[in-house]
Amino acid sequence: MKTVGCISMSELLLNTIKMIKPLDKKAMAEARARQDILTKPQDSLGRLEEVSIQLAGIQGKPIPQLKDKAIITMAGDHGVVAEGVGNWPQEVTAQMVYNFLRGGAAINVLARQAGARIIVVDMGVASNLKSHPQLLSRKVAPGTQNIASGPAMTGEQAIRAIESGIEIVNDEVAKGLDIVGTGDMGIGNTTASSAICAVMTGKQSSKVTGRGTGITDEQLAHKIKIVDKALTVNHPDPEQPLEVLAKIGGFEIGGLAGVMLAAAAHRIPVVIDGFISGAAALIAAALSPQLKDYLIAAHLSAEAGHRILLKHLGLKPLLDLDMRLGEGTGAALGIFLCETSARILAEMATFAEAEVSERNED
């Protein structure tokens, strides 16, 4: 085992990180060359062209294919809700998980449209959820501890959360997986994510803490104070991402970080959703900077810190729809656009094939 800060990195985590390689430049060059001879002005499809080239580099194929699509939505509760940081009771986490399993949530609608399967994971819901054939139980504990009074979890629990995400992706790869989206559910998780964002980006908590599910100005001021208190009590070190996760994170955040690392290790593109997925990406990218090349930001969330977070990661969102729901809803839309970009590259005719004259360079 390798020790990072005061937390020992497991063999599974270490080996997963070692598997993450640079993008395939040859495949990207071939994809770029094909884009330039398709029946359109060069670069006229903008980001769709850029995404198709990134996908080629990730998969190592000049013409990437996105047949098997999945969204992994992880749920976990947060002890910090005891501080009154939001409007919704903690039991909503479990209730929404059941809604996912019944197919009635926004993520279900959007995933169906995108043709993606949903994997719902209990990473640390405070309730004892009933068994369900579509529910994966990877419960680390029934919710984290209150970060305003101490660490969210132990170092061992942080590793276990990340490993769970890795193992789930490894299992999904065996079933067929070409692209994965990340989603979350957990009352209180924007508070933990704000704390992570403040630490990892070096920004003041007042700049990165948002309204979550729609709190008032007075409630927002209180939430910022709680984030500040959590940082003062725990002293997380941005150079030690596992420590940051353990001190101020969440089980679903750790699990999503593991999903991202494992996907990159298997050369699978990762479409990240909003602020909570972004917080997980901050942890994962700090463990493996190479990971950033495998990430595609689906959208710019309405959460205050999301723009700062994406800029820190060097990611440019595909959409800006003022969304702040989570669940993987933005990721589903992003997966649809990624498939669109890949299909344009594969199916659009070249100038020669269509017998269309190319631009005169004279």
Active site residue 327: yes
**d(C-alpha 105, C-alpha 97), whole Å:** 9
CA proximity to 107, closest of 122, 124, 120? 120
**8 A C-beta contact, residue 186 and residue 76:** yes
Return the exposure string of 41-79: e unless at least 16 CB atoms fall within 10 Å of the residue's CB, then b: eeeebebbbbbbbbbbbbbebbbbebebbbbbbbbbbbb
Both structure tokens of 112: 């169906």
Residue of 327, 339, 347, 353 with catalytic role: 327
- According to DSSP, the β-strands at 69-76 and 7-9 are unpaired
Question: How would you class 133 by CB atoms within 10 Å of its CB: exposed for 0-12, middle for 13-18, buried for 19 or more?
Answer: exposed
| Distance, CA of 260 to CA of 291 (rounded, Å) | 8
- Specify the amino acid at residue 118: I
- Residue 172's alpha-carbon distances to 177, 178, 180, 239, 259, in angstroms, are 6, 10, 10, 31, 11
Measured CA to CA in angstroms, residue 123 lies from 6, 173, 215 at distances of 23, 20, 26
Catalytic residues: 327
